[in-house]
Amino acid sequence: MRLPPPARVDTEMGSMSVFKDAGHLFRFAGLFVLAFLVFLVVRHYVVPKSFGQYGHYRGAAMGEIAQHPAKFAGHDTCETCHSDVAEKKSHGKHAHVNCEACHGALFQRVAAPEQPRPNLLQRAVASVTHPAPPDPQLLRHIDDPTTVKAVLPDTAVLCIRCHTASAAKPKSFPQIVPADHYAGPPCGSCHEPHSPGMDAGGAK
């Protein structure tokens, strides 16, 4: 009986040893592929269909935002009734500041009448038998000036939001250090907000 050459036996033993040692690597690779496939399936159901349509966000979000009720109406609507203020403002430093930046949004929610708070059982029954209550009605100041009143801002608080000194602002922009500039009276006692100047008359 002839035995195979020793070299051939060594070669076959070496090949078997390589595959035997690499078995755990194949198992790990299989798990990796399986995990990747699970990731793709989950991503398919979790990521919104419109994601990436316009950029790294949901494309449908733009349409959803556009469906929200309007809150700001623009200075043209305010000037319909307040033409005298618009005329004064057009010649002052605040000519390009929107009215609603200081007086608040023209659309405001009308407060619902106070009602007793339902108990836990009543809320549970209502959640099944009745739809969610609608949002409070939106009215404009121009529609109902008595109910929806424009905000009369406190100039001592409002003005320093823009005019407090900061190194980030252009040097040509009017800036003050509030603690050094005045000792308490509101800005409106010296400056006319619609046409600010060095006196309450709005002089430049």
| pLDDT tens by residue, 144-186 | 666 667 777 888 888 888 899 999 999 889 898 988 887 767 8
Q: What is the DSSP letter of 91?
A: T
Hey, what amino acid is at 82?
A: H
CA–CA gap between residue 49 and residue 167 (Å, rounded): 45
CB 73 within 8 A of CB 104: no
Strand partners, 139: 108
CA–CA gap between residue 157 and residue 113 (Å, rounded): 31
pTM: predicted TM-score of the whole model, two decimal places: 0.49
The ranges of the chain with pLDDT < 70 are 1-21, 70, 108-148, 184, 198-204
Q: What is the DSSP letter of 114?
A: P
Q: Report the C-alpha dihedral over residues 145, 106, 69, 74, rounded to 10 degrees.
A: 130
Residue 22 token pair: 């690499």
* pLDDT (0 to 100) of residue 24: 79
* pLDDT (0 to 100) of residue 33: 94
